[in-house]
Copies of this chain bind each other. A is one copy, B any other.
Amino acid sequence: MALGEAILVCLAEEPLTGYDLAKSFDTSIGFFWRADHQQIYRELKRLKTNGWVADELVVQTSRPNKRRYSITPDGRAHLIAWSRESHPPAPVKDDLMVKLYSLADVDIDSVRRQIVDRLDGHRNRLNLYERIERSVYRDTPEDDAGAVGRLLGLRAGFAYERAWIRWCEDAIERLSALPESTLTSSHTP
């Protein structure tokens, strides 16, 4: 149930609506935990029944009314307790690796192209992170916990993307060196 905690983390900074949260989960905290709006609205209700968030209706005339959620003292206490629990990293699940695992039974050329696409995605990601670093974390004070934490998150992103970029480059080369697969030549348009 870490979606709940990811939401609490956002609300610990400032009260937000489900809509606002959905946008956050598309960018900032979304780099570490993805969720769409249905999940978020559903989870907010759970958090409310647990007493970890409170909500207030904000009446609007020109727009649909909103429901703004804020974290409660119980919510903050829960967040701290949760931060003390150890959570093993989520098990890896990667289609592309499964395809590589059975490269002998599969369309190699297509897999190679997919790696090229992935390389592109990783490069874009890295680029984005670099832009964020320049604009937001230029001079992070070394004793501000909040800032250090976010900088470390960003650096994890760097490390992750760079590792994948290097791997993709190597993989593309090695797959290109492979003899034409009969599979590919007979079935591809």
Contacts and interface: CB of A to CB of B under 8 A. Distances in A.
B89 A105 contact: no
Contacts of A28: 101
A58 interface: no
A13 B106 CA distance: 12
A98 B175 contact: no
Interface in A68-124: 76, 79-80, 83-84, 86-108, 110-111, 114, 117-118, 121
B100 A178 contact: no
A152 interface: yes
Given A89-B96, A93-B33, A9 B102 contact: yes
Contact of A94 (B32, B103, B163): B32
A64 interface: no
B114 A86 contact: yes
**Chain A facing B: main interface SS:** helix
Contacts of A6: 98
A166 B171 contact: no
B166 A159 contact: yes
Contact of A31 (B92, B105, B121, B142): B92
Interface string A1-44: 01001100100110000000000000011011110000000000
A48 interface: no
Residue of A34, A101, A114, A159 with highest tally of chain B CB at under 10 A: A101
Interface stretch (A49-57, A129-137, A179-187): A179-187
Nearest to A106: B83
Task: Enumerate the 9 nearest inter-chain pairs by beta-carbon distance, A residue then B residue, closest first.
Answer: A103-B149, A104-B146, A32-B97, A34-B91, A163-B163, A87-B95, A83-B106, A9-B102, A100-B149
